[in-house]
Amino acid sequence: MLKLEIITPDGPVFEGDADSISLPTPDGEITVLPHHIPLMSIVVPGSMLVRRGSEELIFAVTRGVIEVDGTTVRVLAESADPAERLAEETAIIQAKERAETLVAERRGDAEGFAEATAILEKELSRLTTVRRHRARRGLPPRSS
């Protein structure tokens, strides 16, 4: 059993035990199991899957870092949203489209472009997570 802490600038999002944790890194998805070797890595926007017995928790995560010491896993991310708390898929698709428009408008402004890109990454990770959550629950994908 692993102890998992998911922390954002707004505070802790999740603290508890887990059998395994799968999350996105620049080199692809990794899965951490009990007694994993010590590790530090970057977390990229995407879905994080936490398994506890027969229960599966899915979070939409943005950029951050992961620290593994063999018994404890700490995920420090800009944001981490539980899938069941995310808005409906159509609302996220609309937010993603607004973010894409913002990115296009801010191409000449380096700071504005970086901010718009971060917003787009967050919405894409949320959309991926909602779709993954629906698929795991056996629900059909929503049409946009």
pLDDT tens digits for 20-56?
A: 999 999 999 999 999 999 999 999 998 999 999 999 9
pLDDT tens digits, 77-89:
999 988 877 766 6
Q: What is the dihedral of CA 58, 61, 66, 69, to 10 degrees?
A: -20
Q: What global pTM score does this model have?
A: 0.72
Give the CATH number of domain 2-83; options: 2.60.15.10, 3.50.30.30, 3.30.365.10, 3.40.47.10: 2.60.15.10
Query: What pLDDT shows up at residue 33?
Result: 95
Strand order in 72-77's β-sheet?
11-18, 2-8, 72-77, 64-68, 39-43
- Residues 109-120, mean pLDDT to the nearest whole number: 78
Q: Where are the domains of the chain?
A: 2-83, 86-136
